[in-house]
Amino acid sequence: MKIIFVLIALSLLLAVGFLISFLWAVKTGQFKDDYTPSIRILHDDNHSISKKQN
């Protein structure tokens, strides 16, 4: 049964890893705008490719 302590230590470590990545995501502003990307992804960039003329 001693293996359970190792496993728990590992699971906690994993959870801490997720917590840190969440904090990083918040800090880098990934939750700042959760709406615009949903519009942006629908834009097709293929039509009207013709370059700016000047």
Partner 1 sequence: MTTENIGVQLLCKHCNDPVIGAPYTYKEESFCCLGCKTVYEVLDQNNLCDYYNLADNPGFSLKSKSKEQYEYLDEQIIIDRLTRPISPQLSLVVLQLPQIHCSSCVWLLEKLYRFHDGIFASKVDFLRKEVEIRYNPSIISLRKIVEILDSIGYKPLIELEEHADKGYDEKLKIRIGVAGFAFGNIMLFSFPEYLGLEDPYFRLWFGYLNLVLSLPVVFYSGFEYIRLAWYSLKYKSYDINIPLALGILVMFFTSIYQVTTGTGAGYIDSLAGLVFFLLIGKWYQQRSYHYLSFERDYKSYFPISTTRITKGKMAEISIENIAEGDELLIKNNQIIPVDGVLTSDNTSIDYSFVTGEEVPVVVLQGEKIFAGGKLKDRTMTMVASRKVKNSYLVSLWNDAAFHRNSDAYQTLTDRLSRYFTLAILLVASAGFVYWYPKSFDNAITSFTSVLIVACPCAIALTGPFLYGNLLRLLSRRGIFLRNAQVVDKAAGIDHVVFDKTGTVTTQLEKELYYHGKHLSQEERSLVHALAFQSVHPLSSAIEKNLRQEEILEVTNYEEVEGKGTSCICRGKLVKMGSASFTGAEPSPSGETRVYISIDGKVLGYFIFKNQYRDGFKAVVSNFTAAGKSISLLSGDNDKEKSRLIELLGEGIDMQFNHDPHQKMQYIQQLQSGSTVAMIGDGLNDSGALKQSDLGIVVTEGTNNFTPASDIIFRAEKFTSLPDFFDLSKKAHWIIGGAYIIAILYNVIGLSYAVEAALSPVVAAILMPLSSLTIVIYTVSASALLVRWKMPKYEDLK
Joined together, the tokens standing for residue 42 give: 């629908």
18 lies in the binding site for partner 1 (CB under 8 A) = yes
* 36 near partner 1 (CB under 8 A): yes
CA distances (Å), 11 to each of 3, 6, 25, in order?
12, 9, 21
26 touches partner 1 by CB under 8 A = yes
Asked if 11 contacts 3 with a C-beta cutoff of 8 angstroms, the reply is no
Q: Which residues bind partner 1 (CB under 8 A)?
A: 5, 8, 11-12, 15-16, 18-19, 22-23, 26-27, 31-33, 35-36, 39-40, 42-43, 47-48, 50, 52
